[in-house]
Structure 1
Amino acid sequence: MHPAGTPRSTVVVITWQGREHLGACLDALGRQTRPHRVLVVDNASTDGTRELLLEHPTRPVVLRTATNLGYAGGLAVALPQVHTPFMAWLNDDAAPEPDWLEELERTLDEQPSTAAATATLITPTGSVQSSGVRLTAQGYGADRSQEGTDPPVEGSGTATPSSDVPEVFGLCGGATLLRTSVLRAIGGVPAGFFCYYEDTDTSWRLRLAGHDVVWAPRARALHQHGVSTKPGSPRFHRWNERNRLLMLLRCAPAEPAVRELLRFAAITALLPLRRLRGRVVPSAANFRVGLRLGVLVEVLGRLPAVLVERRRIGGRSRVPRQVVWQRWAGR
């Protein structure tokens, strides 16, 4: 038990060149109704972020890195510095409502079997950007933008939360709360992902270890989305495609993991032929042959280490990979 007024959560904010938007995030944290600790990982910013952090009235604890470690790397270096029962992940371009943390803590308090509660991210236009993460039939992690719930499936091998809190496949790393001890027990955060899919990979490992993930609808945060990483850019697509394949090779059943790797390679090989035949090829960066070849080189280069990690993840698992896949893929 923690005495009244003692922080139970450490809110970890990862920032890079965040001076223009980080202040609003810290201001919102300063208005939270629950006591908490704030730890900002400054990924070697050079735009004045350092000065903003020194001057901000909330006086957060700051961990500065020598190089940009990305979102995943920042979370990984922060985890050893978290000594509270809960660890919150919060994007630096998100501004949570005053009861955001209170709602997340209350959700986990009421759900002892739940390891993570994911918040509702709201766009500047007022629509729901994320109410957690779903798993597509191709193994992509995608934001649940609807406010509906996923119905339980009998025989799934995982517990269904006992209250009306909606269960989701996974957490959205932009605004979520996890049990610190559980996160450590499943292997922490995949620092090598740099950016994107660290949340879906973590959700996979939570599920495999037999833990629940739920959505806390009333824990809301305004999210600018992609201020630093520019969705649609070549780097965005490179990280997304690479990390999806790495995540599947680490966590998913062998059949869909190998299938998706081969499918990615086959599409890459066929793209030049489609262009030669005059067929339309999407203009998005993830259909550029050079980018896709780079992804394949990175994934194959990491394959020996990934297979070692896969074995470790399997050794910690209580739920078969196939059970998790059948329960959630395509939902």
Structure 2
Amino acid sequence: MAEPIDTTPLISLITINYNQAVVTCDLLESTRTLTYPRFEIIVVDNGSREDPTERIQQGNYPNVKVLVSPENLGFSGGNNLGIRQAKGDYIFLLNNDTIVTPDLLEQLLKPFFQNPLVGVSCPKIRYYDQPTIIQYAGYHPLNEYTGQTWAVGLMEPDLGQYEQPGPTYFAHGAAMMVSRAVLEKAGSLDDSFFLYYEELDWSMRIRRAGFQIYYQPKALIYHRESMSVGKENAMKVYYHTRNRLWFMRRNVVGFPLLIFYLYYFGMAIPKALGYYTLRRKPSYLKAVKDAIVWNLKHSVKQSVVTSPPVAMVANTALEV
């Protein structure tokens, strides 16, 4: 007699490790509390100085597979490596510097079954060191003239003001569950970003493909922000500068892009250069220069930006 087929969706949880085996094991330890019955965990090591496989195996964490890359593929490349190995019906990208809560996976799945247009589900994110303070409760729309957006509720005490679920403009790279349908229609993260802005670019492509990005406040994680690259360094300056410009070039066209160029090169870049000069940070000045030169050497394929973004649902359920 054939065994019954388990129709419970399989979730593939993917996390990136880069010289942070202890932090990654803290996350894996927290996954022991997950109550969802069917998930696998893929840890992608991004060219760390020491292979974390043995340490992770010693923890005897359930359903964990370690993929070791000989080189650092960045956030986008590392997650894409994990996605290629994932067997799940849903892919959950989760930063290694997070701590999960027991019903996280069940809550993130609900929007997919309630609305077939949902392609991405994101939890509420609070800071690990300030567990009552919000980091993410959805995203505000992009200002196409300045290239700026910011998370709803950022740095606010969580007093229940963002408990209404609904569509939002961007997913948060620290924690986003994606359906297989999104991967098939919109593709995965773009490797060209390496670090920063990749989830914003992906969000734009996902919405252009006709999907909604959904904020689910009943799902909750805690995030130790900026543990991988630190609070400020030349690499962070380089990728923030490079990828903000790259993101805008890929996703904004016409008059708004022209205004952005005037703003960015007339105000934002001179301000940054003056600040780093006063602080005597020559490596930061070089990072800004290198970021601009990189963009001058790389062209954007027209197919990336010719399709207009899909409009948000008429009256978003988020209270902002």
Structure 2 length normalisation: TM-score?
A: 0.83
Q: CA deviation at 1:241?
A: 2.0
Q: Deviations over 1:123-173 (max 9, x none)?
A: 1212111123334422234232256569xxxxxxxxxxxxx5222111101
Change (3 A) 1:271 1:121: closer
Change (3 A) 1:142 1:271: closer
Q: CA deviation at 1:93?
A: 0.6
Is it true that 1:132 corresponds to 2:138 in the alignment? yes
C-alpha contact (below 8 Å) 2:162/2:217 kept by paired residues: no
Return 5+ residue gaps in structure 1 as ranges.
151-163
Q: Deviations over 1:104-135 (max 9, x none)?
A: 01122212111111111111212111123334
Change (3 A) 1:4 1:39: same
**Helix, strand or coil at the partner of 1:195:** coil
Change (3 A) 1:183 1:96: same
Q: In structure 2, how many angstroms separate the alpha carbons of the residues matched to 1:139 and 1:271? A: 16
Residue 214 of structure 1 is matched in structure 2 by 214
**Helix, strand or coil at the partner of 1:61:** strand
C-alpha contact (below 8 Å) 2:53/2:66 kept by paired residues: no
- 1:105 maps to a residue whose letter is L
Name which of structure 1's ranges 249-258 and 208-217 shifts more when overlaid on structure 2: 249-258
Is it true that 1:311 corresponds to 2:303 in the alignment? yes
- 1:122 maps to a residue whose letter is R
The correspondence of residues 227-238 of structure 1 with structure 2, limited to 5 A, is 227-238=227-238
Q: In structure 1, how many angstroms separate the alpha carbons of the residues matched to 2:282 and 2:276? A: 15
Is it true that 1:39 corresponds to 2:42 in the alignment? yes
C-alpha contact (below 8 Å) 1:170/1:200 kept by paired residues: yes
Q: In structure 2, how many angstroms separate the alpha carbons of the residues matched to 1:254 and 1:232? A: 33
C-alpha contact (below 8 Å) 1:234/1:286 kept by paired residues: no
- 1:176 maps to a residue whose letter is M
**Helix, strand or coil at the partner of 2:298:** helix
Return the match for 2:52 from 24, 49, 52. 49
Structure 1 length normalisation: TM-score?
A: 0.80
Change (3 A) 1:258 1:81: farther
Residue 201 of structure 2 is matched in structure 1 by 201
**Helix, strand or coil at the partner of 2:71:** coil
Identity in percent: 21
Count of matched residue pairs = 302
Change (3 A) 1:81 1:265: same
Coordinate RMSD, CA, aligned: 3.2
Residue 300 of structure 1 is matched in structure 2 by 296
Q: CA deviation at 1:37?
A: 1.1
